Chains A and B, each alone.
Chain A
């Protein structure tokens, strides 16, 4: 078993040397070599984030600027992006960020993303978009093909993205960038400091308060080391990132969301604003609208739900779900699952036929050829602690 992966097929983030120095167990992920865990291990890393603060390297994610063409307005850029997503981008307030997703013609999901309305480093009004690493080249091609004529699109390949998550994140980051204390959940801004000029959002994917920090690639290592010098901060790998987001009820693209699942099926209707829904000021106008509209009005056939196994045994994807213990009536599948260190037991998510989506419903999963009892659970499994 090799402790590190560094070959020509995998890209390295600006923090690769630091990961190795910290004893990170490197694995291939989204085309990059990234740490799945460090010496602490997944369980203790997970608990550390909930109790204190964890630093994650998420530089594999795509950071994209969408700017107006010369002489054009930001509103035109917002309208262009609205042709690809079911979110209200025009109505997004400056300095705010919003969760969004690219849909396809079948009403499925191409990717999920974060979009912020802000200014770029030169002070020009723009949208800042963060997309998943595994999808970023497809997303870029999609945007260029669909809205490239109306919008200037720039993928920031050289920048790093760090996430600092947990109740101690604000204090640790404010030592270097005091202004971050004024941000509330889903607010963004530029901050100057001795460690460089950085773009920060108060958001993340752990269910905890925290920040994502976009920093120039050549300044990322020094920033990460400065944050890790704080006793409250530990480096955290992808393993704990996955168990943290699962407990928080957050979807992982590729597991819980894909091109065949619609946002209505995925229970993401909360992320679609009124202006874009049926009867809204700018209803529809994005790929798959007619299918999504029909599901909004008539209800979906399948729905994403939380799943709580009755025993201590973790339930792993892609286990099949059944209505009966004899496992004759298939009604769904597990898309994410494992052990929730903070939930102190196994936690999972999956898709079930809508008739079985009621919390408390008893179901069975087929794992290792045995029927495992579980029930539909309310998400999230742990209380989200965002700074509203």
Chain B
């Protein structure tokens, strides 16, 4: 599993990357009340807003971590956005994307580097 400095995690299986936000991010955001999956579709460039997660107080963008094509969003979050808080690395995943270049993943940071960032 790789991480971004924007508090996302990325897990690659074949050429499909699953993306979510870290537990650290969910603690900072608080209980999510809505996840806007509206933009999670089609070609994206690294840094594009892919989904928006909303707490009681604020809306926060979640970015595409790499170039590619978003092929699936976690529709379960429409009914239960709290899944992201309960299981951020599992059931609370946000979207899946086909990476333009699987090798790009190497540019992301590993768990140790991410931990160092948030401590």
Contacts and interface: CB of A to CB of B under 8 A. Distances in A.
Are A and B part of the same complex? yes
B30 A37 contact: yes
Interface residues of B, number: 15
Interface string A1-20: 10000000000000000000
A338 B34 contact: no
A42 B36 CA distance: 20
Contacts of A96: none
B36 A339 contact: no
Nearest to B81: A312
A338 B57 contact: yes
B7 to A, nearest CB: 10
B33 A339 contact: yes
A107 interface: no
Contact of B34 (A1, A41, A314): A314
Contacts of A1: 28
B67 interface: no
Contacts of A175: none
Given A1-B28, A368-B52, A239 B34 contact: no
B79 to A, nearest CB: 9
A42 B31 contact: yes
Nearest to B29: A41
A308 interface: no
Given A339-B54, A368-B52, A316 B30 contact: no
For this complex, into which size category does the number of interface residues on chain A fall?
A: 20 to 34
A44 B56 CA distance: 10
Nearest to B61: A368
B38 interface: yes
A243 interface: yes
B59 A239 contact: no
A341 B56 contact: yes
Contacts, number: 50
B54 A43 contact: no
A321 to B, nearest CB: 18
A112 B33 CA distance: 31
Contacts of B36: 313, 368
B34 A42 contact: no
B57 to A, nearest CB: 5
Interface string A103-135: 000000000000000000000000000000000
A187 B8 CA distance: 52
B55 interface: yes
Given A41-B30, A43-B30, A313-B34, A239 B57 contact: yes
Specify the main secondary structure of chain A where it touches its partner. Answer: mixed
A88 interface: no
A370 interface: yes
Given A41-B30, A312-B34, A346-B34, A339 B59 contact: no
Interface in A239-292: 239-240, 242-243
A117 to B, nearest CB: 37
A243 B56 contact: yes
Contacts of A338: 56-57
Contact of A313 (B30, B54, B57): B54
Nearest to B31: A43
Interface in B1-55: 28, 30-31, 33-34, 36, 38, 52, 54-55
A370 B39 CA distance: 11
Contacts of B58: 316
Contacts of A339: 33-34, 54-56
A239 B56 contact: yes
Contacts of A313: 34, 36, 54
A36 interface: yes
B54 A42 contact: no
A46 interface: yes
Given A239-B57, A243-B56, A42 B28 contact: no
Interface of A: 1, 36-37, 41-44, 46, 239-240, 242-243, 312-314, 316, 338-339, 341, 346, 368, 370
Given A1-B28, A37-B30, 19 more contacts: A36-B57, A42-B30, A42-B31, A43-B33, A44-B31, A239-B30, A239-B57, A240-B56, A313-B36, A314-B34, A314-B54, A316-B59, A338-B57, A339-B34, A339-B54, A341-B33, A341-B56, A346-B34, A368-B52
The 5 closest A-B pairs by CB, nearest first: A43-B31, A339-B33, A42-B56, A41-B30, A339-B56
12 contacts: A1-B28, A37-B30, A42-B56, A42-B57, A243-B57, A312-B33, A312-B34, A312-B78, A316-B59, A339-B56, A341-B56, A346-B34
